[in-house]
Structure 1
Amino acid sequence: MDKQSSILDNELERLLALSNLDLDYYDAKHGIEWLTEMAATVAGTQVSLVNLIDSYTQWSIASVGIELTQMPREDSVCQYTLGNEEGELFEVDDLRLDERFKEKKYVTENPNLTYYLGVPLKTSEGYNLGSLCVMDVELKQISQEKKELLKMIARQIVDRLKVNSKVHDLKIQMGELHQSQKKLAHDIRGPLGGIMGLAEIIKSQGKDIDPEEVMEYMDLIEKSGKSMMDLADEILGQHYDASHHRTMELEDYQLNLKSFRAKIIDMFTPQAILKKIDLQVILNEENQYMPFPKAKLMQIVGNLISNSIKFTPETGSINIVLDLIFESSTMILVIKVKDSGMGMPQQKIDQLLSNEVVTELGTSGEKGFGFGVKMVRKLLNDLNGEMDIQSQVGKGTEFTVKISFN
């Protein structure tokens, strides 16, 4: 089996391992910047990057010597490290002479990169998340001793990302605990109110029909009830009125529609600009400040938007609609991604909603492994969400995702 076949066989599991870290690629709090700087210092290169690679995109989450946040996966050098074993480096002595890279803009134009060395970011489970790479505009020779040091730095980066993920999970659990406290407070208010009402009724009639001792007991019941009501109010904290939400500071594990929209624009406008696609993100302003858990949301919406960009021709359009609706005690996040792309027949939709992997080239010849929509289905299944696909050949496709929160 060749290396490319090995990558395909392992790709969905690799993508799930990356998704399980639930990283915000544009979050500056990964804590790996100093490791990126150390890699450049050890290698003696002008440029160092930590790149994570998903279905469509290479995301640069830390950088030295170059301002880069993302590029199409198929244009990256780091994609060639994905099939490497842990510690197996991918080195290109001169990018200008390599058929795979010599026509790339980062070689022919600024910054005119020449040398590349990539170290796989391999987890202990054997999944390659991306690459720690060092690059330079001049030819380089890096000693074996320094390469071993770069491998150690790569392992430290993976460990740090996993620690960050664990901390993120703990914050989510703490948030869920806080919500449970609020529910408990609501649950006890009803019966306590009944006790206090009963005590008040007995007090109002007790002088005529009850002994003085009963009155004292009823007084104690009322006082105890008021104390528990005060405790419930303290747990509940501020009321969820509109003015509170407008000033409410989001926790690290939360988004609201307004911040969700901002992240989508920041992350995917560059991809849309490359294909001259008009990308619009619209939100329902009524509940735009209501917080909800962000777990896996960027991975879900990212795969759908990247898929739409891939299959929408130049000068096309993509409209994303975000809404938050309430049904009884359930909050439902609705995400719609509608493009003016190629569209697809019902047979293709059925394939996407099955376990079959479908791989096609995009409108500009973009390559893909066919795992994007399948990834979304897996993530939605974990979140008890659902997805609907509507499409017409030649007219475009609309994905609708719904995720419920208690």
Structure 2
Amino acid sequence: MKENFPIPQNESERLFHLSSLDVDYTSLNDSLKDLNRLAAKVAGTEISLVNLIDAYTQWTVGSHGLDLQQMSREESVCQYTIMGDQGFEVPDLSTDERFNKNFYVDDPLALRYYFGLPLQDNGVNIGALCVMDTSLKTLSPEKVELLKIIGDEIVNRIKFYHRLENMQHRLNDANQNSKKVAHDIRGPLAGIIGLSEMISQQGNSANVAEVMEFIKMIHSGSKSLLDLADEILSQSDLEKPIGENELNLIALKNKLLQLYQPQATHKKILLSVVINEQQKNVIFSKHKVLQVIGNLVSNAIKFTPEKGKVSVVLDLISTTDQTLLDISVTDTGIGIAPYRIEQILSGSAESTIGTGDEKGYGFGLPLVKHLCESLGGKLTIESTAGAGTTFHAQLIQQPI
């Protein structure tokens, strides 16, 4: 009998909100490093992680004490943390039947203690801040309150970078309204500094003296954000090398392999990414691109058996009035029946189990369809039962 993994009642809303933040799961670790160290120091644990959970995967976007990038959602402890509004504690992972068979409980990690807090934005839990240790621990109420403040600051950082990316996107489109941009940027910075002061006050009342040495790190992080904001405001020439909020086909290929090769390798699946070499250096916006392709690749890996193949083909197609990012994801998986394709495209598909018993959450492909349509594109699906599936998406892009 397969385990029933937890799914929040607002899962569809949760995933849509996470996708709206358009997080690049490879880009946040440096900006969250000070907060991860602070969380571990407050809790007195060896490890602190910031995890975001999408339809298929738990992505570690910030870490201290453990080099971890991702794991399947069904293996994670944080999937239970996002079910509620309070902290979720596991005193001993090795004695809890939900987790004691997972890799992080065995050597060499041999993790035992877990405490997680949901990271909430606009009423939905996008992920969790968790602290872990190889020894058994207990956290005082004062330390839990400090961790909550740190968790709020983490959400502020993520939202701040999202706003910066949106501002850069607007600047690339129009290069206008710089005074409004400056105002929008400095507001969140004031919030960051205010939260730093709150942490300082909480640290004193809780007698956590070690916390104070990390406050300077938060102020330093705020200064680096301000420098980034000033850099954006000073850009007048949009003819520039590829930036953090941009991609070309080469960069997109490398990022997809970095993100999804571990999933494919774990399941013994050959993942390939092919690009149109003639268009490889054309720069375009990163806006929502990774969210669309990532869900398609994760879904393909999930429904492809061991020793199968998942192939991604990327191209830029230029017409007289627009440029299309053309995406094809083809797998050698179990295929999709016609009625299931209709359900997926209508948003009424139910969860199914993958070829490796992976849990299906039922929201990934409807999310892709929504994202494609919100960007003025479309999603089509071609499949033969038992012979694989091809997902074809086109997104309107403006070369930069």
SS at match of 1:154: helix
Measured against aligned partners, the alpha-carbon deviations of 1:275-297 in whole angstroms (never above 9, x if no partner) come to 00000000010111001111111
Query: Is residue 80 of structure 2 the alignment partner of residue 80 of structure 1?
Result: yes
Measured against aligned partners, the alpha-carbon deviations of 1:71-100 in whole angstroms (never above 9, x if no partner) come to 000000010011111xx1000000010000
Residue matched to 2:379: 387
Shift of 1:344: 1.3
Query: Is residue 342 of structure 2 the alignment partner of residue 342 of structure 1?
Result: no
Shift of 1:8: 4.3
Instruction: Tell me which of 174, 177, 189 is aligned to 1:177.
Output: 174
Q: 1:237 to 1:385 in 2, by over 3 A?
A: closer
Q: 1:8 to 1:137 in 2, by over 3 A?
A: closer
Query: Is residue 96 of structure 2 the alignment partner of residue 98 of structure 1?
Result: yes
Q: Equivalents in 2 of 1:18, 1:67: separation in Å?
A: 23
Q: Equivalents in 2 of 1:96, 1:236: separation in Å?
A: 56
Query: Is residue 51 of structure 2 the alignment partner of residue 51 of structure 1?
Result: yes
Structure 1 stretches of 5 or more lacking a match?
Answer: 180-234, 239-247
Q: Equivalents in 2 of 1:109, 1:282: separation in Å?
A: 38
Q: Which amino acid aligns with 1:100?
A: R
Instruction: Tell me which of 138, 141, 144 is aligned to 1:144.
Output: 141
Instruction: Tell me which of 284, 305, 329 is aligned to 1:313.
Output: 305
Shift of 1:178: 4.3
Instruction: Tell me which of 296, 305, 322 is aligned to 1:304.
Output: 296
Shift of 1:5: 10
Q: Which amino acid aligns with 1:326?
A: S
Shift of 1:357: 3.0
Measured against aligned partners, the alpha-carbon deviations of 1:112-150 in whole angstroms (never above 9, x if no partner) come to 000000011011x21001100000000111111101111
Q: Equivalents in 2 of 1:127, 1:300: separation in Å?
A: 21
Q: 1:5 to 1:47 in 2, by over 3 A?
A: closer
Contact 2:326 2:395 in 1 (8 A): yes
Q: Equivalents in 2 of 1:49, 1:276: separation in Å?
A: 27
SS at match of 1:32: helix
Shift of 1:160: 1.3
Shift of 1:27: 0.8
Residue matched to 1:224: none
Measured against aligned partners, the alpha-carbon deviations of 1:269-314 in whole angstroms (never above 9, x if no partner) come to 0000010000000001011100111111111101000000100000
Measured against aligned partners, the alpha-carbon deviations of 1:320-377 in whole angstroms (never above 9, x if no partner) come to 0000111113111100000000001111111111120321000011002110000001
Contact 1:343 1:396 in 2 (8 A): yes
Instruction: Tell me which of 269, 280, 290 is aligned to 2:272.
Output: 280
Q: 1:61 to 1:5 in 2, by over 3 A?
A: closer
Query: Is residue 249 of structure 2 the alignment partner of residue 249 of structure 1?
Result: no
Q: Equivalents in 1 of 2:79, 2:238: separation in Å?
A: 49
Query: Is residue 164 of structure 2 the alignment partner of residue 167 of structure 1?
Result: yes
Q: Equivalents in 1 of 2:30, 2:126: separation in Å?
A: 15
Residue matched to 1:290: 282
SS at match of 2:10: helix
Shift of 1:167: 1.1
Q: Equivalents in 1 of 2:291, 2:169: separation in Å?
A: 17
SS at match of 1:107: coil
RMSD value, Cα: 1.9
- TM-score normalised by length of structure 2: 0.81
Residue matched to 1:14: 14
Residue matched to 2:316: 324
Q: Equivalents in 2 of 1:75, 1:42: separation in Å?
A: 26
SS at match of 1:111: coil
Contact 2:51 2:61 in 1 (8 A): yes
Shift of 1:252: 2.3
Q: Equivalents in 1 of 2:108, 2:12: separation in Å?
A: 34
Q: Equivalents in 1 of 2:358, 2:265: separation in Å?
A: 15
Structure 2 stretches of 5 or more lacking a match?
Answer: 177-235
Contact 1:82 1:130 in 2 (8 A): yes
Measured against aligned partners, the alpha-carbon deviations of 1:193-226 in whole angstroms (never above 9, x if no partner) come to xxxxxxxxxxxxxxxxxxxxxxxxxxxxxxxxxx
SS at match of 2:336: coil
Residue matched to 1:120: 118
Q: Equivalents in 2 of 1:330, 1:346: separation in Å?
A: 32
Q: Which amino acid aligns with 1:337?
A: V
Q: Equivalents in 1 of 2:153, 2:25: separation in Å?
A: 18
Contact 1:335 1:401 in 2 (8 A): yes
Shift of 1:7: 3.9
Q: Equivalents in 2 of 1:141, 1:5: separation in Å?
A: 26
Name the larger-Rg structure: 1
Identity across the alignment (%):
43
Instruction: Tell me which of 341, 353, 357 is aligned to 1:361.
Output: 353
Q: 1:99 to 1:299 in 2, by over 3 A?
A: same
Measured against aligned partners, the alpha-carbon deviations of 1:248-267 in whole angstroms (never above 9, x if no partner) come to 51122211101000000000
SS at match of 1:365: coil
Moved more, 30-39 or 107-116: 30-39
Q: Equivalents in 1 of 2:300, 2:148: separation in Å?
A: 37
SS at match of 1:134: strand
Residue pairs, 1:266-277, within 5 angstroms: 266-277=258-269
Instruction: Tell me which of 246, 250, 262 is aligned to 2:254.
Output: 262
SS at match of 2:39: helix
Q: Equivalents in 2 of 1:366, 1:57: separation in Å?
A: 11
Query: Is residue 151 of structure 2 the alignment partner of residue 154 of structure 1?
Result: yes
Residue matched to 1:36: 36
